[in-house]
Chains A and B, each alone.
Chain A
Amino acid sequence: MNRHLILGILGLAVLLFAALLAPVVSPYPLDYQENIIILEQESGRQILYSPHPPSSRHPFGTDPYGYDLLTQILHGLKYTLAVSVIVSLLRILAGSFAGIPLGVFYGRKRESLLLKGLVGIPVFLFLYFLLFRVSFNSPISVSRLVILEISLLTLFGAPGVVESLRSKSAAVMEREFIEASQSCGAGKGHLIFRHVLPHLREDLFLRFITEILLVLSLLGQLAIFNIFVGPTVYTLDPPLFHSATHEIAGLVGQYRHYLTNSRWLIIFPLLTYLFILGSFSSLSRGLTNLLLKRMHAVKYI
């Protein structure tokens, strides 16, 4: 039994269900605020001010303004999943459309020293630079900003995927069956569609999940520097940064200072983020195991 694959699929099903049904399953509407709770007890009236710790009323507690944290997480999930999946899909598409023909037509690329040197600069820094002028209190709509972010995340990750798929398809091109096929008169197009692509199918899927994990990591790194998916709401007095979309990595970055007080604010987003990472990692491991198993089961006739 492939335990990893089952756990991965189950985890992702739960996440997808929660993300799609967020408006229905959330305990409160997103704009419901409860900064003061008045409790009538036998000992008398008790007034509680936000942030409220986890309770039956607010299972994950509330933020300092009294907004329910579980509701925020459920509503933010769709952004985390959508952005990471769409960006990875676009990177893989770019990789397939550019990397595979490059590998088939031109073979492996020689390493450039300058590029190697620049690889030392973390990718999130480029993204921070480009989003710096447009993210903070952005007047443009959430969807347009998210599309811009998706484009930039794709742009900065695609070259890596193109390069990797180029070298992988170049490696396939060095195999004997390609030579045999070529000597039978096969053209490059035939080689791409009938030999290289089928050979890279599993690789593409695994790379897709790896890219999702990389994008999730990038979103978190950007969030540590207050660039969230969607606009960053920035107030000057006090100087605070909020994620307008409540995307999960953004919540981790936003609440990372709550280590000593109101700890639930960092713990629940962090656990959700780890759950997302765990589900994708598990799926990736499960698929790898499945592929390894398949590769061993060679049928000769």
Chain B
Amino acid sequence: MAGGGRFYFNAVNVLLGVFLLLLSILLIALLPELLALRLGRVVINWSRLVILLKDFFLSLKEGTFFYYKSGLETRNFLYSAAGYMRTSFLYITAAGVLAVFLGIPLGIKATQRGFTAGKYILKVINLFGSLPDFVTFVLLQLFVILFNSLTGVRLARIASDGLNPAVFLPLLAMSIYPLLYITRITALEAEKLRGENFVLALKGRGVPQSRILFRHLLPGILKPVERDLPRVFGIIMASLFIAERIFNLSGITRFFFTYAFVSARGIRMVGYQYNVAVLSLLSLILVFLAAYGLSLSVILAADRILSHE
């Protein structure tokens, strides 16, 4: 009975959370029309917000909520968004997986006893971590171009064009910050675990180092990574906007900026498609949940295999 009660309470909590999230997205998507210029002054445009909300509920009633304008054409979000969402999902998941599978060994190696280079590896990592994401991205592009002009060797494509997607550089760029984070937390945990008494006991019993590492330390190291995974994906999501912009990737944030904000006929950015903003932000959350869920399952599976459960 108590279990059933808890389930009921959890379900109510989840529903309330989803409702609040939807409400927040509806409100956040109103922000671009909140301020307006009138007679050379900045004013709060309440009437426009009311119109946007009215139109929104009307479009829900009429079933036109998923339709948006692309130039003179009218398109359906449900048909066109899948490709953009897939692109974002692939880059986010790949960046997350790369960060986890490189960050953990790097963090462990950097703390190995007698491995003096480890200290410097962590220093370099901290140095990169202190640069803003867009600076790192532009620096990477510049490095590839300068390397190409000096040696004639093209290391990677610096941005996607219509036909050829840039893969290596965006992935590297997007995985740098989560990689730094994971390396840091792994190093911290590994440093702590390496000094535990049970490690000394195992070593005294003649258990090989690799076995101590894989069977006894790694499950302990995976725990904080597992706990901080939402944060790791938060970091990736924050840089997704910048990465899709700088590397010209056709992801969901690019869709958002291309179709939600419409420039036409001249001087100022004129149009704003509220439904595109709401749908893009919702899609972004879905992409986040899917990528996070997939990566969490991989880590949980690895944890189970290592713990022989």
Give the interface of A toward B (CB within 8 A): 113-114, 117-122, 124-126, 129-134, 136-140, 144, 148, 213, 216-217, 220-221, 224-225, 234, 236, 239, 252-253, 256, 259-260, 263, 266-267, 270, 273-274, 277, 281
A277–B129 CA distance with the chains assembled, in angstroms: 13
Known A125-B241, A130-B32, A130-B34; contact A136-B135, beta-carbon cutoff 8 A: no
A259, B269: Cβ atoms under 8 Å? no
Known A114-B24, A133-B37, A134-B35; contact A220-B17, beta-carbon cutoff 8 A: no
A139, B241: Cβ atoms under 8 Å? no
> 0/1 per residue, B122-163, Cβ < 8 Å to A?
000000001111110011011001000000000000100000
Point out the residues of chain B lying under 8 angstroms from A259, CB to CB. Answer: 141-142, 145, 158
A129's partner among B31, B41, B134 (CB-CB below 8 A) is B31
Summed over the interface, the residue pairs from A and B with CB atoms below 8 Å come to a total of 114
Segment of B53-61, B183-191, B205-213, B259-267 engaged in the interface with chain A: B259-267
B256 to chain A, nearest CB (A): 9
A225, B245: Cβ atoms under 8 Å? yes
B132, A114: Cβ atoms under 8 Å? no
Could you show 23 A-B contacts with beta carbons less than 8 Å apart? A114-B20, A120-B238, A121-B281, A130-B32, A133-B35, A134-B37, A136-B269, A137-B267, A137-B268, A139-B37, A139-B40, A140-B42, A148-B42, A220-B132, A220-B135, A221-B242, A234-B268, A236-B263, A256-B246, A263-B142, A266-B142, A274-B135, A277-B132
Residue of A nearest to B45 (CB): A133
Point out the residues of chain B lying under 8 angstroms from A221, CB to CB. Answer: 132-134, 241-242
A113–B184 CA distance with the chains assembled, in angstroms: 25
A217–B267 CA distance with the chains assembled, in angstroms: 28
A224, B245: Cβ atoms under 8 Å? yes
B269's partner among A220, A224, A234, A274 (CB-CB below 8 A) is A234
Point out the residues of chain A lying under 8 angstroms from B245, CB to CB. Answer: 224-225
B36, A266: Cβ atoms under 8 Å? no
Task: Decide if B237 is an interface residue (CB 8 Å cutoff).
Answer: yes
B14 to chain A, nearest CB (A): 10
Task: Decide if B9 is an interface residue (CB 8 Å cutoff).
Answer: no
A129–B28 CA distance with the chains assembled, in angstroms: 9
Please name 20 further chain A to chain B contacts, defined as beta carbons within 8 Å, in addition to the given A130-B35, A224-B246, A277-B132, sorted by A numbering: A114-B24, A120-B288, A121-B28, A131-B35, A132-B261, A133-B37, A134-B36, A134-B37, A134-B42, A136-B268, A138-B37, A140-B41, A220-B135, A221-B133, A221-B241, A221-B242, A234-B267, A252-B134, A259-B145, A274-B135
A120, B135: Cβ atoms under 8 Å? no
A237–B151 CA distance with the chains assembled, in angstroms: 37
Residue of B nearest to A255 (CB): B138
B35, A122: Cβ atoms under 8 Å? no
Known A114-B21, A136-B268; contact A270-B246, beta-carbon cutoff 8 A: no
Task: Decide if B293 is an interface residue (CB 8 Å cutoff).
Answer: no
Instruction: Count residues of chain B with CB under 8 A from any CB of chain A.
Output: 46
Point out the residues of chain A lying under 8 angstroms from B266, CB to CB. Answer: 236
Task: Decide if B257 is an interface residue (CB 8 Å cutoff).
Answer: yes
B30 to chain A, nearest CB (A): 9
Point out the residues of chain B lying under 8 angstroms from A281, CB to CB. Answer: 130
Task: Decide if B234 is an interface residue (CB 8 Å cutoff).
Answer: yes
B11 to chain A, nearest CB (A): 15
A264 to chain B, nearest CB (A): 12
Point out the residues of chain B lying under 8 angstroms from A134, CB to CB. Answer: 35-37, 42
Task: Decide if B33 is an interface residue (CB 8 Å cutoff).
Answer: yes
Residue of A nearest to B266 (CB): A236
Point out the residues of chain B lying under 8 angstroms from A138, CB to CB. Answer: 37
A49 to chain B, nearest CB (A): 22
Give the interface of B toward A (CB within 8 A): 17, 20-21, 24, 28, 31-37, 40-42, 45, 130-135, 138-139, 141-142, 145, 158, 234, 237-238, 241-242, 245-246, 257, 261, 263, 266-269, 272, 281, 285, 288
Point out the residues of chain B lying under 8 angstroms from A137, CB to CB. Answer: 267-268
Point out the residues of chain A lying under 8 angstroms from B36, CB to CB. Answer: 133-134
B188 to chain A, nearest CB (A): 18
Point out the residues of chain A lying under 8 angstroms from B138, CB to CB. Answer: 252, 256, 266, 270
Residue of B nearest to A119 (CB): B234
Point out the residues of chain A lying under 8 angstroms from B130, CB to CB. Answer: 213, 277, 281
Point out the residues of chain A lying under 8 angstroms from B31, CB to CB. Answer: 126, 129-130
B132, A217: Cβ atoms under 8 Å? yes
A118–B32 CA distance with the chains assembled, in angstroms: 17
Point out the residues of chain B lying under 8 angstroms from A139, CB to CB. Answer: 37, 40
A260, B145: Cβ atoms under 8 Å? yes
Residue of B nearest to A117 (CB): B21
A122's partner among B42, B241, B261 (CB-CB below 8 A) is B241
A118–B23 CA distance with the chains assembled, in angstroms: 12
B142, A267: Cβ atoms under 8 Å? yes
A132, B242: Cβ atoms under 8 Å? no
Known A134-B35, A140-B42, A259-B141; contact A270-B135, beta-carbon cutoff 8 A: yes
A236–B267 CA distance with the chains assembled, in angstroms: 7
Which 5 pairs between the two chains have the least Cβ-Cβ distance? A217-B132, A129-B31, A129-B32, A122-B238, A132-B32
Point out the residues of chain A lying under 8 angstroms from B139, CB to CB. Answer: 270
A133, B24: Cβ atoms under 8 Å? no
Point out the residues of chain A lying under 8 angstroms from B272, CB to CB. Answer: 132
